[in-house]
Amino acid sequence: MNSFHGVLEEIRIEGHTSSIWVGASEEDAYFFNMKLSQDRTNAVLTYVHFTEDDSDMRKWIRKNVAAAGYSSSRLILTKDGLEDRERSRRVDFKVVTNAETQIRKILTE
């Protein structure tokens, strides 16, 4: 992250699950999986934060890295439109850059 520190605005850690929770109703499964997906993102955020030795970078992480659980609201589907349970269980990273600012900077130089 240090190499791109000047162009990164935010990093989003997104946790996802399948729609299944054995022995639970569809509604209960959604909420149980919501906690699971949030726990996943918190684990990743904790790892990222505490493996960083630089205190300034830790401050940047606390300010610019967000963790959100989505439960089964963003499933990955097969070509047939069915839920791909294995691929739906994941953690994604979304990187938001200040690309517009960087482009303007390049154009004015």
Q: Which domains does the chain have, with CATH numbers?
A: 9-108 (3.30.1330.60)
The phi and psi torsions of 84 (rounded to 5 degrees) equal -95, 95
Q: Exposed, middle or buried: residue 9 (CB in 10 Å: 0-12, 13-18, 19+)?
A: exposed
- Residue 95 pLDDT level (bands cut at 50, 70, 90): very high
109 vs 83 pLDDT, higher one: 83
Q: Which amino acid is at 23?
A: G
Partners of 12 in the beta sheet? 66, 94
Q: What is the pLDDT of residue 2?
A: 64
Within 10 A of 34 (CB to CB), how many other CB atoms are there? 17
Of the chain, the percentage scoring pLDDT greater than 90 comes to 74
Q: Exposed, middle or buried: residue 1 (CB in 10 Å: 0-12, 13-18, 19+)?
A: middle
Determine the Cα–Cα distance for residues 16 and 36; give it in Å rounded to an integer.
Answer: 8
The contacts of residue 101 (CB under 8 Å, 6+ apart) are none
pTM: predicted TM-score of the whole model, two decimal places? 0.81
Question: 3-state DSSP call for residue 17?
Answer: coil
